[in-house]
């Protein structure tokens, strides 16, 4: 067995390290894992689209009336509820806009003509006459929306819309309970 010279023995470790490093670079990389399939937005049926439009109209109407309640109501509980309704239904509008953004649905920026007439009439009232008209309008809107919400909850296959309908139904029931 030949002995290595002193120079050769010192050069051997760096040479071995370089060879090992180069050998590691040539090893095959495992293939990248496949990408998960793109999630498509859940399909909205015609009934879902009708629900979205009705909910949007109700939200816009309630928000406008609730803003008036903050300043025109004689009762403090109605003014306080108005602030809560504005906050809750504005959040509802944000969720609704997010849900329909993936679809070719344009939400109205203003309430329907019929609801706008109600808003205009009630906004000019003050004190107890405002309170009576506001409570009547709030109750009427909740009564009209209840079957729409229940139908959406029972028939829709879009889980996000069902959750939104359930949350809205709960909010409307809470508002009615606070005013009794």
Domain ranges for the chain, please list them. Answer: 46-178
How many helices (H) does the chain have, and how many strands (E)?
A: 6, 0
pLDDT value, residue 10: 67
Instruction: Fill in the DSSP letter of residue 40.
Output: P
CA 87 to chain CA centroid, Å, is 14
Instruction: Fill in the DSSP letter of residue 158.
Output: -
1-5, 26-30, 137-141, 176-180: which has the minimum mean pLDDT? Answer: 1-5
What is the rounded CA–CA span in Å between residue 172 and residue 126? Answer: 24
CATH class of 46-178: mainly alpha
pLDDT value, residue 3: 59
Question: If you average pLDDT over residues 101-112, what whole number do you get?
Answer: 88
pLDDT value, residue 7: 58
**pLDDT single digits (tens) 132-141:** 999 999 999 9
pLDDT value, residue 39: 62
The structure's pTM equals: 0.75
Question: If you average pLDDT over residues 145-168, what whole number do you get?
Answer: 93
């Amino acid at each position: 067995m030949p002995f290595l010279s002193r120079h050769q023995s010192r050069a051997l470790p760096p040479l071995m390290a370089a060879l090992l490093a180069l050998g590691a670079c040539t090893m095959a990389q495992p293939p990248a894992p496949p990408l998960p399939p793109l999630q498509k937005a859940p399909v909205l049926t015609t009934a879902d689209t009708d629900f979205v439009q009705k909910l949007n109209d109700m939200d816009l109407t309630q928000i406008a009336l609730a803003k008036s309640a903050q300043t025109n109501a004689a009762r403090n509980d109605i003014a306080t509820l108005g602030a809560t309704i504005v906050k809750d239904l504005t959040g509802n509008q944000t969720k609704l806009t997010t849900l329909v953004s993936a679809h070719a649905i344009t939400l109205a920026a203003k309430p329907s003509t019929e609801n706008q007439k109600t808003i205009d009439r009630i906004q000019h009232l003050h004190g107890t006459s405002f309170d009576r008209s506001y409570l009547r309008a709030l109750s009427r809107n909740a009564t009209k929306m209840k079957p729409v919400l229940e139908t959406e909850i029972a028939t829709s296959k879009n889980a996000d819309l069902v959750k939104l309908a359930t949350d809205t139904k709960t909010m409307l029931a809470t508002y009615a309970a606070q005013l009794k």
